[in-house]
Amino acid sequence: MAEKGRMSAPRGASGVDWAGLALRLPEWSAALALAIAPLSAGTMQTLDELPVLLLILLFCAIPLGWALGTGRAHLELFPAWQLAAALGAFTLISAIYTVSPERTIPRMLELVCATAVFVTALWGGPAGTAAVWCAAGVAVGGTAVSALGLSEYLAHVRAGEAGWRIFSSFYNPGFLAGYLVVSLMLTLGLAMQAERRWTAALAGVAAALQTAALFLSGARAGLLALAAGMAVLLVCAAIGRAFDRRRALRLAAIAAICVVAAVAAGRPAGQRVQAAAQEGHSLEFRVYTWKGTVEMARQRPIAGFGPGTFEVAFYPFTIAGYTRLAHSTWLQAAAESGLGAGLALAAGWTWLWGAALWRVMRRRTDAAAVWLTVGAGAAMAATTVRGVFDSDWWCLPILLVAALSAGHLAKTSPEDGAVEGAWRAPGWALAAAGVAGIILSLMLQRGLSEMNAAQEAERQGDHQAARADWRAAVAWMPWSVSARLSVLLYDAAGSIPDDFEARISRLQKLEPTNPKIPHAAAVACERHGLRDRQIHWLEQARKLDPHSPRLLLEEASALEEAGRDEEAIRRWMELVAVEFSPYGQVLALPQMVEPSYAFAHAALGRRAEERGREWRARRHYRRAVEILEKYFTSLKEMRPVLEAGGLSDPQTEEEARKVLEESRQALERLPDTPGPERRGMGSSGGWGFGPPPSRRP
């Protein structure tokens, strides 16, 4: 080894430097993965992420681990390396004690790949150019998704939707903004660092396209992150004296182009900013979600619930409506991996960022790489700000760019203390994780493909093929509770097996916070007329998801069918109480209307009518009509979104039409007799905002 991080490798008989080629694989594969990740992995679907994961595991993690393990590559210590090690240990402990292996395994694959990208940037490659290659990959990926987003926007403009917020290839506009704001910072760093004019010009055009797409996403948190990133970039560059006359003129020219792009594409963002005062529900929903996430973290402070498990672990802690993510990178990390992991992540991230930019401002960073370092620091600042409002690092492309930025800053801030050979064991551990990750990724690919085939067969009504596909999915993914549950339900289609409840209990032990397991048992019992067992399993499901309107609705209906009217009335009243709680009032999508509340009012109206309380019956029927009219209006607006997400529910729609018609007929039938509202309760028919004045129907 001639220098740290480099080697003079012997050439083979054919003249090919195989060892040198292997050492270049990590930076090349990481750059390629960063370029294609936003195009394929932004949907947050594991099957779409697998090509990127396999690319990094096979050509980055394994060769890099081999290079470190054999001593062909060497790493320097960096600020907060102790906290980074603690974060890894806490995450591993959390993965061992996870409440859902089905969610934790894909998440751990993502984290291993992010670690490989971080270590690649920290090493720098045999020529020290890994960060440049990877940043170029990010710039290419950011430009590609920006072009897709602009094409999407133009199509909607031609359809008369000038206020459309673009998705491009991402799960939603928010995550698109979260990616573009970090890719923009690195693209600007490349543009300013480039020595050749044509390279700087290409990077400048890429920055302009990314700026336009960022504004077209309409994400307010994205604009706030952009302001934070640009402030860090300009302040650090100015204090670190990274400007000369040529670069100052270049930055002015790029800034002018980006401003023009922002103004031209700013309509969706402008509308969102102007509507901020009227859309307080968005922040209110996040605040309630954060409170629930904090309580979740307090419940299991050491091990957490397991990486990637938020969507199945959050049910018992919901205050407002359910959500897949915590809308906060920092809180979700603490809830999933434990408070120790959350604190280590936040402290280590801040320490590393501050130490690296302090070196820049003290002009102790290599002048040739100062702009890329400033760009990486700006990207870290931007994703930190976005992470307050959204769980950006659960979107793989953003996670990889964050790992790249942190790795490059760690490389530019070396600390003394590294010992020759100290990285051999971690290197072999990384290679072993890469090999295990490839095996698990291939199993996931086959298993998820079988699951998709099973779901498609079910849509086509071919239940025999669906059953076979579910069994194949279990064979490839024995840790998948959803696949095993589907197989169990098919086994119970003809008759309930003797070991049905024992198998349900075993599945519940694998995912103890998932209410879908006892709910599935309740559905199977209902199919076979086992009403008491159906009610039992619905009660178990409600213990895990106590505010769910659908579970309350099903339990109340089952109690009515079983002739337990007084208990049914209590459930209907609980459902009405949920309607006026934060769960029912504060929604992620306020356009959506939950029809279950109308069903509860209609049922309470029938009970009141049977008992001769006509004024109270009218009040409930009137409320049912109001809710269902809003429900069908919202369906007209949201149907394309619901159909695209596979969330359409024709059976509920048919039931809602039936209840709406019955409620209207009841209002025509019942006389408008004086009730408490005529005796001082106001002129709104006795129904104001808030829960009903009495718990009796």
Q: Is the Cβ–Cβ distance between 133 and 125 less than 8 Å? A: yes
Nearest-angstrom CA–CA distance, 371 and 231: 14
Lowest pLDDT segment from 425-429, 526-530, 582-586: 582-586
> What pLDDT, in 10s, does the model give residues 44-70?
999 999 999 999 999 999 999 999 999
| pLDDT tens per residue, range 430-439 | 999 999 999 9
Whether residue 462 lies inside any domain: the answer is no
Of 368, 392, 422, the residue that ends a domain is 422
Q: Is the pLDDT of residue 272 over 70?
A: no
Confidence of residue 685 (pLDDT cuts 50, 70, 90): very low
Report if residue 226 sits inside a domain: yes
At 270 the pLDDT is 62
Count of alpha carbons within 13 angstroms of residue 220, beta-carbon side = 14
327-354, pLDDT tens digit by residue? 999 999 999 999 999 999 999 999 999 9
Q: What is the dihedral sign for C-alpha 46, 49, 50, 56? A: negative
Residue 536 belongs to some domain of the structure: no
What whole-number distance in Å separates Cα of residue 150 and Cα of residue 212? Answer: 8
Domain C-terminal end among 396, 422, 448 = 422
Q: Render pLDDT for 496-548 as a digit per residue (tens, 0 to 9).
A: 999 999 999 999 999 999 999 999 999 999 999 999 999 999 999 999 999 99
CB 545 within 8 A of CB 316: yes
For residue 77, give the 3-state DSSP assignment: strand
- For residue 192, the model assigns a pLDDT of 92
- pLDDT-derived band of residue 264, with 50, 70 and 90 as boundaries? confident
In a domain, 327, yes or no: yes
Chain centroid to CA 273: how far?
A: 23
> Is residue 41 predicted with pLDDT exceeding 80?
yes
Is the per-residue pLDDT at 212 higher than 90? Answer: yes
Res. 682: pLDDT tops 80: no
- Tell whether 655 is covered by a domain: yes
What distance in Å separates the CA atoms of residue 623 and residue 621, rounded to the nearest whole number?
Answer: 5
Q: What is the mean pLDDT of residues 593-616?
A: 91
pTM: 0.90
Please tell me the total count of domains within the chain.
2
Q: What is the mean pLDDT of residues 638-652?
A: 72
Averaged over 682-688, what is the pLDDT?
A: 39
Q: Biggest alpha carbon distance in the chain?
A: 102
pLDDT over 50 at 442, yes or no: yes
Q: How far is Cα of residue 501 from the mean position of the Cα atoms in its chain? A: 33
Q: Is pLDDT at 5 greater than 60 in this prediction?
A: no
- Whether 645 has a pLDDT exceeding 70, the answer reads no
On whether the CB atoms of residues 422 and 136 are closer than 8 A, the answer is no
Last residue of a domain, one of 403, 422, 441: 422
Q: Look up the domain containing 109 and give its range.
A: 27-422
Handedness of CA 25, 28, 32, 34 (dihedral sign): positive
In a domain, residue 305? The reply is yes
Is 476 inside a domain boundary?
no
pLDDT of residue 507: 96
Residue 558 within any structural domain of the chain: no
Per residue in 445-486, pLDDT tens? Answer: 999 999 999 999 998 999 999 999 999 999 999 999 999 999
